[in-house]
Structure 1
Amino acid sequence: MSKAPGHGAAKPVWAAVQKMQAAGLPLVWFAAAMALLLSPQAVQAHALLVRAAPQPNAELTQPPEAIEFWFSEPLEKTFTGARILSADGTEIPSGDPRIDPDDPTHLTLPLESIEPGVYTVVWQTLSSVDGHEWVGSFPLTILDPDGTRPAGVAVEVTVNRRQGLPPLSDSLLRWISLLGAALLVGPLSMRWLLIRPQSNNSPDPLIETVISSTAIVGVLLLIASGWLQFLVKSLRLGGLDGFLELLLATRPGRLLLMRQTLLAGVFLLLIPNRWATVLFRRSVPACAALLTAAALFTYSASSHAAAAPGSGWAVAVDYIHLVAAAVWAGGLIFLAILLLLLHRRQAAPDPDRMVLLLKRFSLSAQIAVFILALTGLFSSFVQLPDPGSLIHTTYGRVLLIKLAIVVAIIALAFFNNRAVQRAGETVTSQRKLRRFSRRVAAEAGIIALLFIAVAVLVQTPTPNLPPQTAPAAPLLPFNEMAYEGDLAVHLQVSPNQVGHNRYWVHLSRPDASDIGEVQLVRLFFFHESGEMGQARLDLASLGEDAFAAEGAFLNRDGNWNLSVYVRRRGMDDVLAEIAVPVPSAETVRRISRSPWHNPVPRLPAETLVGALLIALSSVPLLWRRSLLRASRPLSLVLFMAALFFLLSGALLALTALL
């Protein structure tokens, strides 16, 4: 029987098309989602008040033309605003609040003519990172013409507490989303662990059923909790009328839409159906894993990490932390469910498959816990300004509770790991298997408890944000010490930009003896071009041998020479010269908006890189037995690399500290 022309070539072509569909479509979807999610965002989390002009609690002889606010992160224009209330609670007419297009953290409330009185300034913000809403207020007094304080008191306004816990509804919904992420990621990772390399064998039918069922429950929990969280947010911000505007016109809304779209794709791939099998063949779990990875990234893109300096690094570490936690916790919950089903059905598991499952999960759990320890330590450095924040802030105390629960889980996991080391005996003995199943179930239950602490933690304001009434406190890009005569002159210029700066000088002696009575500290400014002459600025004493002043003396970028003149009673004058490079406005803008600068400004970048290299050097040592069993030549290469990383990291860290 003859074939139609070209019929024989059609099968290879169709097979190639199917392979491209199986590999290409999910990859394109994944790449498109990650491209949108990885677009640079100079953002922070929780829009808290940093400073205001006039200052909170100010008493003014003349009413201001406007009230200006600076917040801890960019604001969403749609649901951010401010108003001013009189002593009887009446709203005073004012202009429309406006956000500075060049500085999205800056909000201005124009005022019309107001009479002397006691007023309450109320502001409401919506974070452009995670969509957290925040309400705050402060009193403002306009004095009578004779300078006396007018009668009346500020209105009490319901506000969010600076360091308070999040609402119970928010914590519950976030707990559901964390549980959903674990139930989705854990089974997918376990399926991958069960498939032997270079083998097309699928897991046991019972295991396959538990994998798909648990993952479907997880994705449904994620989808439901996402919509419910956004619904609660919409109700707080004014009701359901603004739901669509909140969803479509804000960054948190767009992130939610992307996440829900990706999760819908995961759901369609996981449910038993014919079209997914035909379209994706055996790569359905891989496609679901790719879409799940992109969906999880939306959580990190709207987490506390996005509020940190160097948010790009912080978000990447937070994402790795989230995935590792989901693999570990989700795999453990999956294992507990599987063992429970086997016990209820009184079915004997396939010994070979169970031994493979337990040993591979044990190895993956060890790696995940190692990653969690490193990324968690890094995140603590990013979010906590000092060790005392662990005790004195709500965020720190919740973090301590989380760490205590983690220690309990790891202690229980230690005993479970002993049973895994004797996996052959454990799975063949009903008594040992029941005992092991109970311990795994207990460990999974504690993990569910851990998720409660995490749900509260991720929604609690971090202590690295400046206090509400503090003046602007930018980083100190210029910080130099000079020695002249018997004095050590410490000069700080912040923010070291063209225009207005703050100049701070501290005087000391190398032997810590008294420096004498200082009569005058004066700065002389001279630009390298020599075209602007010399300017001078006298600094005011702050006490304890510190002096400061502000002014717009650096009126051009380039290299400046700052001379610090110190006059003391009965002692020689000192003139210390310090070179101060001032970056251009464009350079400052580029650096300040970059998400890839040092995520822990109080530590030198060399220290962070050195710590990372030292951590990497420990990997071959921790899993040396597995590496030796896999390949002796490979293990030798990795051991040599570990030694190199260890020495390099130690040298970098020491160089930064010395």
Structure 2
Amino acid sequence: MLGFSEPLNAKLSRATVTDPTGQRFDGQASGVAEIRVPLSTNALGVYEVQWTTVSVADGHTLHGSFDFGVGVIPTGASEGTVRASPGPLDLAISLARAAEYTALLLAVGMLLLQRMARGRAELAWVRPRVRIPIAVALLSGIAVVLGEALVAAPGPSVSAVWSYLSTGLPGFARLARLALETLALAAAIWGAPWAWAFVAASVAVLAAAGHAAAIRPAWWGITVDGVHLLAAGVWVGGILALSTLRPPGGWRSPSGRGLVSRFSPVALVAFALTVGFGAVQAFLELGGIRPLVSTSYGWALLAKVALVGTMVPLSIRAWRRRPLLRTEAVVAVLVIGAAALLAAYPLPPGRLEAAENA
């Protein structure tokens, strides 16, 4: 029997034991947080155990292995290993995730600027094509969800994908996100005034399908991450949206300066919320200061923080009406890429330690 620190997807979590002769024995989850593998042999020698778990808490897939001996003492991998870093397929999925994040935040920013320009003749040129980033978000989101489901499944099958998407809050959150992005695209195409509600909900639901959902209590982790993401949509998304616009006469013209002036106070509040709730989320997932400098997850987080720090002087320059919006947008995309990389980790350091001690 293998015991784990989190509840498991009973249909997708599995383990294989290979005996000294090479015979394999397969097992599946038999309880909330355990996997049983029935063995029909007790031959002397070293047995190799390979296991895969799919967490009901956040939907992430974790792989590990260890050896044990019958009548002998195993060497090397007896203490076991847990794959703590993203694999090649995880990294490929993170590229699609970065595209989805970028598109959703851009859509939030476009809708915000559209709202600010409403009813102002001097800002009539603010006409962002919000349907394009929403369509990109939907296509990327489908790739992310299917990719995550196939990583979790023992083989490509409709039943395994459905099991992944229909089990626990993270599975339903993934389905809900795709549904909300579809509704947002339809609303944008039809010009409906409530498209913003579906886009905002799509961003918020991201929190229920990631690491934040595994924090206890779950409502606290999801709330912290949800506020962080929505605030980032206003701040980072607004910067991305501004970089797509071309005001008549340039950004130093009266209308260009007027839009930046209207956006700046909102961006300042959103920046404070993004950083504040992001710091709380980082503390919850790291479980301390040491993992920040002793793990690859911590290094990726430090890179993200450094990139955010790079955006600050660029934002100040824009506030002083000397914007370098394209440069700031490039840095913003890199920040989003770092966030997508962090989401690709099977477990953040705080939960990884608990998993290794289970």
TM-score band, normalised by shorter chain: 0.7 to 0.9
CA apart distance, 1:306: 1.7
1:244–1:112 CA distance, 2 compared to 1 (3 A): same
Following the alignment from structure 1 to structure 2, what is the Cα–Cα distance between the partners of residues 97 and 168? 27
CA apart distance, 1:232: 2.3
1:376–1:307 CA distance, 2 compared to 1 (3 A): same
**Correspondence 1:98 to 2:15:** no
| AA of the residue aligned to 2:326 | A
Which of 70, 95, 115 is the aligned partner of 2:43?
115
Following the alignment from structure 2 to structure 1, what is the Cα–Cα distance between the partners of residues 207 and 98? 15
**Correspondence 1:364 to 2:266:** yes
Following the alignment from structure 1 to structure 2, what is the Cα–Cα distance between the partners of residues 170 and 164? 10
Structure 1 or 2, whichever has the larger Rg, is: 1
Q: Pairwise mapping of residues 469-618 of structure 1 onto structure 2 (< 5 A)?
A: 471=357
Q: Percent identity of the aligned residues? A: 27
Matched residue, 1:219: 134
CA apart distance, 1:369: 0.9
What are structure 2's unaligned runs of at least 5 residues? none
Matched residue, 2:327: 442
| AA of the residue aligned to 1:68 | L
Following the alignment from structure 2 to structure 1, what is the Cα–Cα distance between the partners of residues 53 and 350? 19
CA apart distance, 1:203: 7.8
User: SS in structure 2 opposite 1:131?
Assistant: coil
How many aligned positions are there? 352
Matched residue, 2:337: 452
Q: Pairwise mapping of residues 172-571 of structure 1 onto structure 2 (< 5 A)?
A: 172-195=95-118, 204-208=123-127, 210=128, 213=129, 215-236=130-151, 237=153, 238-242=155-159, 244-246=161-163, 248-251=165-168, 252-271=170-189, 273=190, 284-285=192-193, 287-339=194-246, 342=247, 353-419=255-321, 436=322, 439-460=324-345, 461-467=347-353, 471=357
1:247–1:445 CA distance, 2 compared to 1 (3 A): same
| AA of the residue aligned to 1:382 | L
| AA of the residue aligned to 2:140 | S
Following the alignment from structure 2 to structure 1, what is the Cα–Cα distance between the partners of residues 56 and 336? 25
User: SS in structure 1 opposite 2:7?
Assistant: coil
User: SS in structure 1 opposite 2:83?
Assistant: coil
Following the alignment from structure 1 to structure 2, what is the Cα–Cα distance between the partners of residues 257 and 370? 31
CA apart distance, 1:289: 1.4
**Correspondence 1:162 to 2:84:** yes
User: SS in structure 1 opposite 2:4?
Assistant: strand
| AA of the residue aligned to 1:174 | R
CA apart distance, 1:111: 3.4
Is the contact between residue 318 and residue 375 of structure 1 (CA under 8 Å) also seen in structure 2?
A: yes
CA RMSD, aligned part only? 2.9
Following the alignment from structure 2 to structure 1, what is the Cα–Cα distance between the partners of residues 146 and 8? 20
Q: Which has the higher contact order (CA 8 A, sep 6+)?
A: 2
Query: Structure 1 residue runs of 4+, over 6 Å off?
Result: 150-155
Following the alignment from structure 1 to structure 2, what is the Cα–Cα distance between the partners of residues 400 and 301? 24
CA apart distance, 1:110: 3.7
* TM-score normalised by the chain length of structure 2: 0.88
CA apart distance, 1:470: 5.4
| AA of the residue aligned to 2:183 | G
* TM-score normalised by the chain length of structure 1: 0.49
Is the contact between residue 84 and residue 352 of structure 2 (CA under 8 Å) also seen in structure 1?
A: no
